[in-house]
Amino acid sequence: MYTSKISGLGYYVPENVVTNDDLSKVMDTNDAWIQERTGIKERRHIKKGDGNSTSIMGVKAAEIALERANLTTDDIDFIVFATLSPDMYFPGGGVRVQDMMNMSTVPALDVRNQCSGFVYAISVADQFVKTGMYKNVLVIGSENHSGGLDMTTRGRGVSVIFGDGAGAAVVTRSEEKGSGILSTHLHSEGAHAKELSLEGPSTEHWVPEIIAENPQEDIPYYPYMNGQFVFKNAVVRFSEVINEGLQANNLSAADIDMLIPHQANLRISQFVQKQFQLSDDQVYNNIQKYGNTTAASIPIALTEAWEAGKIKKGDLVVLAAFGSGFTWGSAIIRW
C-alpha cells in the first residue's frame, strides 16, 4: 500500500463581485440580514460573456494546481470532477476538462455530492492512489450557481447564499508513512434528499410536465432549501464526522492545526469551532468573500489558507463538509 498526498492546489473565481447591496436591488433583502444570518458580504457571479462555465473555471483552477505540483497534464492518470451545476445535463464536467486540457484518454469521473462533493472526490482519489492503480489524480470542485438561482424575492432564502468558483487539488502517490491523506470518512442520509434539492428538470420532472403542472411563475427549476432543518443537521453531522476522523487516527481536537469547513454558513463554522475549542487561527473561513460555492468551497479555502502560509509541513489539516443528500464527510491530512 502506498500513501497519498496533496501535491498541488489552485483556485479560480470569476472577477464579477456581487455585494449584498447589489442583491437588494433585485430582491427584497438587505446587507444586515445576510451578514447576520450567514456572514456573507459578497460573492462572485459569472457574467454573461466573460467566457466562464463550470468546466472552464475547473480548468483554470486545475492549471494552477498542476503547475504547483510540478506536473503536466501528461502526468495525470485520472480526473475526478465534483459539481452540482454541470455545463450540460450529461455528460459531466470531467470529460469536458479532459478535452479542454488536451489530455490523453484518461478516465474522468463525475461526483454528484453537492457540498460534500470535494471531500467525496478526495476520498475517491485517495483510494485509487493508495491501492497503486493511479499515481496522480486531478480532483476538481467547480460550481456555476448564479446561472440557476431564482434572483427574485421568492428565492431570497437560497439565492443570497450561493456563489460561483472552482478549486482543484492534485492527489499524488507517496511513500512517506504517517503523512498525507491519513483517512477519509463519508456518510449519506437519503431520507432527507428533498430538504435541499433541485427537482427539475429531471426524469421525475421533465420539462413539458413541469410547464404543464406549474403556473409559469412557479416552475421548480430553482433550488429548494429547508434552511433551518439543514442548519440543525449540519452542526450535528459536522461534529460527528470530524470526531470520527480524529478517533480513527487516535487524535483529538487538540491536535488540529487547521480546520477547513465547507463554507455553508459562517454561523455553522463558528458553532463547530466552538465545539472543538479551536482558535480563530485554527479555522479558515472565506464565505465572507465568496458565499457558499458548494463543491468548490473547500478547495478554494484550502488553497487560500495554504497560499497565506497558514498550513505548514507536518500540520494536521481537517476537511469537513455537509450538504444536500444529505451527505457529509471528513478528510484527515498530515501535511
- Show which residues are catalytic: 115, 262, 292
Nearest CB to ligand UT7, comparing residues 24 and 243: 24
**Site track for ligand UT7 across 31-60, x = CB under 6 A:** --xx--xx----------------------
Q: At what angle do helices 117-130 and 297-307 cross, to 10 degrees?
A: 70
CA 159 to chain centre: 17
Residue 260 is a binding residue for ligand UT7 (CB under 6 A): no
Residue 93 is a binding residue for ligand UT7 (CB under 6 A): no
Residue 327 is a binding residue for ligand UT7 (CB under 6 A): no
Residue 156 is a binding residue for ligand UT7 (CB under 6 A): yes
Residue 264 is a binding residue for ligand UT7 (CB under 6 A): yes
Name the one range near ligand UT7 by CB under 6 A: 139-147, 165-173, 263-271, 275-283: 263-271
Separation of alpha carbons 136 and 132, rounded Å: 10
Nearest CB to ligand UT7, comparing residues 217 and 281: 217
Backbone angles phi, psi at 290, to 5 degrees: -120, -5
Residue 331 is a binding residue for ligand UT7 (CB under 6 A): no
Residue 265 is a binding residue for ligand UT7 (CB under 6 A): yes
Give min distance, CB of 54 to ligand UT7, in A: 17
Question: Cell numbers at residue 132, please?
Answer: 497503486
Residue showing the smallest CB distance to ligand UT7 in the complex = 227
The residue among 138, 141, 147 whose CA lies nearest residue 166 is: 141
Do residues 85 and 148 lie in contact, with contact meaning Cβ atoms separated by under 8 Å? yes
Residue 286 is a binding residue for ligand UT7 (CB under 6 A): no
Name the one range near ligand UT7 by CB under 6 A: 50-58, 169-177, 228-236, 309-317: 228-236
- CA angle (4 as vertex; 185, 64 as ends), nearest 5: 100
Residue 220 is a binding residue for ligand UT7 (CB under 6 A): no
Residue 25 is a binding residue for ligand UT7 (CB under 6 A): no
Residues 6 or more apart in contact with residue 231 via CB below 8 angstroms: 265, 267, 268
Separation of alpha carbons 170 and 149, rounded Å: 30
Nearest CB to ligand UT7, comparing residues 206 and 229: 229
Binding-site member from 59, 82, 234, 278 for ligand UT7 (CB under 6 A): 234
Nearest CB to ligand UT7, comparing residues 100 and 151: 151
Residues 6 or more apart in contact with residue 2 via CB below 8 angstroms: 129, 130, 131, 132, 173, 174, 175
How far are the Cα atoms of 32, 38, 145, 219, 262 from residue 18, in angstroms, in the given order?
A: 15, 15, 13, 25, 21
**Strand boundaries in the chain, DSSP class E:** 3-12, 17-19, 42-44, 78-82, 108-111, 136-143, 165-174, 180-188, 196-197, 224-225, 258-261, 316-323, 327-334
Give min distance, CB of 320 to ligand UT7, in A: 12
Q: Where on the chain is the footprint of ligand UT7 (CB under 6 A)?
A: 29, 33-34, 37-38, 115, 156-157, 160-161, 227-228, 230-231, 234, 264-265, 268, 292, 323
